[in-house]
């Protein structure tokens, strides 16, 4: 007949006699199985905390917890156990206090796998509950693994089913990044915990190292961000040439620069409403402006009718509108300026005079972000207005000679820009000020299998 372990026997065997207990494959009492693993982990670390063991017994409503020796550490002295009468009196006096402790929201979740069943994929909606596993119900690694794996798979499935929906993808990008930040914030590592409040540090993980999941969440975030950028590209690409290069007199009833700005505003508003990190928003907008710049430059380099003075004026006006939008949205910085600079320089090249030695020097000083091939191509395609003289071949050769050697031969020979190029994305750590014990689970999630504890 197999021996049935009680919670007190487990404590005495593991903590006192240093016995290694094996958890039965089908333990009828989940609480005892949890306790066996927890006590062994505490002892294995060679720093068992008697107060924590006792609290653990109380939380699991162990039937023999009242017989547990009340051993605590105080002023480096051991306090001897109370007599039976004293212990019973203390239990009666503190019953209400213990009940209050049980009702206190600790910022943790209790998951019932049997109740969840197929609906466990809904756990993706619990990203903001921070998957808090510092103590209590989630002592077994298997449950934590199941929970986080379910979250990751649920997010992947959701974004895959809505890969063309900007709002869906933006929403889950924000969720994924927030969960990654949360795993860092409550990891207990000094570099992350230093920005927490004392209460938040009390919620840090104690028995689990979830650093491997942080990398998984980061990779998933990068994947979702790339999906978001592809949606932006598909929306903007048909609008760029009409908005940036269509003659002003032909814009009525067609796409204008205002139409392009309106679409950018829609993207920005959705991301801000979802609470996307400001740094991630900036990177997405920067990628959008790179697409506008690269697509416009490529069209100019391929079409002779785009290379004349009035087109330079139009491009410069449109660029000023985009820059003003960035400033009003508080997004304009050095990175944005560098992204727009090549197109600004092309507009200046179309407007500058092209006759004298001073003009050669001015062109070379102005077109620092353009390759020699691009500058020479525009000069060859340039169509002078009625009052302008044709650009001499000798002038073009002087410019080409002065620009030679400024860049590496491979880069200097580049003509068209890669409109599919994507800047590497990063997710700077951004901790949350929200306390875990203040968060509630919305009823709309329909997650009866998850309870706050």
Residue 368 DSSP SS3: coil
For the cut 70, the answer to whether the pLDDT of residue 87 exceeds it is no
Question: What pLDDT, on the 0 to 100 scale, is given for residue 294?
Answer: 98
CA 349/CA 362 separation, integer angstroms? 9
pLDDT greater at residue 334 or residue 407:
334
pLDDT at 214: 93
Inform me whether the pLDDT recorded for 259 exceeds 50. yes
Which residues is 78 bridged to in the sheet? 73
**pLDDT in the model for residue 63:** 42
Place of tokens 């092209």: 354
The chain-wide mean pLDDT, for the chain, equals: 79
Q: How far apart are CA 225 and CA 211, in angstroms?
A: 21
Q: How far apart are CA 261 and CA 233, in angstroms?
A: 14
- Summarize pLDDT for 4-55 with one digit per residue, the tens: 555 566 666 655 555 555 555 555 555 555 666 656 555 444 444 555 555 5
What sign for the dihedral angle of Cα 395, 373, 370, 348?
Answer: positive
Closest CA to 334 of 318, 319, 323: 323
Nearest to 120 by CA among 98, 97, 145: 145
Task: Summarize the chain as % helix, strand, coil (round to 5).
Answer: 65, 0, 35
400 burial level (CB within 10 Å; 0-12, 13-18, 19+) = middle
Q: 398 pLDDT band (50/70/90 cuts)?
A: very high
379, containing H or E segment? helix 372-381
Residue 318 CA from chain centroid, whole number: 32
């Amino acid at each position: 007949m197999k021996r049935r372990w009680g919670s007190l026997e487990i404590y005495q065997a593991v903590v006192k006699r240093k016995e290694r207990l094996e958890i039965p494959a089908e333990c009828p009492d989940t609480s005892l199985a949890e306790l066996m693993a927890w006590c062994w982990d505490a002892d294995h670390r060679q720093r068992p905390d008697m107060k924590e063991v006792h609290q653990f017994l109380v939380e699991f409503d162990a039937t023999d917890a009242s017989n547990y020796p009340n051993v605590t550490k105080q002023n480096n002295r051991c306090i001897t156990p109370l007599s039976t009468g004293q212990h019973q009196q203390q239990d009666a006096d503190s019953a209400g206090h213990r009940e209050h402790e049980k009702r206190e929201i600790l910022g943790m979740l209790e998951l019932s796998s049997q109740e969840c069943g197929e609906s466990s994929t809904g756990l993706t909606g619990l990203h903001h509950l921070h998957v808090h596993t510092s103590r209590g119900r989630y002592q077994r690694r298997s449950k934590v693994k199941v929970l986080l794996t379910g979250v990751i798979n649920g997010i992947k499935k959701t974004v895959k089913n809505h890969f063309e929906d900007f709002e869906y993808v933006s929403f889950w990008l924000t969720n994924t990044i927030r969960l990654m930040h949360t795993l860092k914030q409550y990891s207990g590592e000094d570099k992350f915990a230093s920005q927490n409040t004392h209460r938040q540090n009390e919620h840090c993980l104690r028995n689990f190292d979830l650093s491997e999941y942080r990398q998984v969440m980061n990779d998933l975030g990068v994947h979702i961000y790339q999906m978001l950028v592809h949606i932006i590209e598909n929306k903007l690409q048909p609008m760029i040439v009409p908005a940036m290069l269509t003659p002003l007199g032909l814009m009525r009833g067609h796409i204008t620069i205002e139409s392009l700005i309106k679409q950018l505003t829609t993207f920005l508003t959705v991301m801000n409403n979802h609470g996307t990190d400001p740094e991630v928003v900036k990177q997405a907008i920067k990628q959008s402006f790179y697409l506008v710049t690269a697509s416009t430059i490529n069209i100019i380099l391929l079409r002779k009718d785009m290379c004349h003075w009035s087109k330079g004026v139009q491009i410069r006006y449109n660029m000023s509108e985009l820059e003003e939008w960035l400033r009003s949205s508080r997004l304009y910085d050095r990175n944005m300026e560098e992204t727009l600079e090549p197109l600004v320089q092309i507009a200046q090249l179309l407007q500058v005079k092209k006759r004298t030695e001073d003009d050669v020097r001015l062109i070379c000083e102005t077109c620092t972000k353009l390759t020699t091939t691009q500058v020479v191509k525009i000069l060859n395609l340039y169509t002078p207005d009625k009052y302008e003289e044709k650009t001499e071949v000798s002038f073009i050769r002087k410019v080409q000679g002065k620009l030679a050697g400024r860049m590496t031969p491979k880069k200097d020979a580049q003509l068209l820009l890669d409109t599919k190029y994507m800047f590497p994305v990063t997710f700077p750590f951004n901790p949350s000020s929200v306390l875990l014990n203040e968060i509630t689970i919305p009823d709309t999630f329909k997650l009866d299998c998850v309870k706050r504890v």
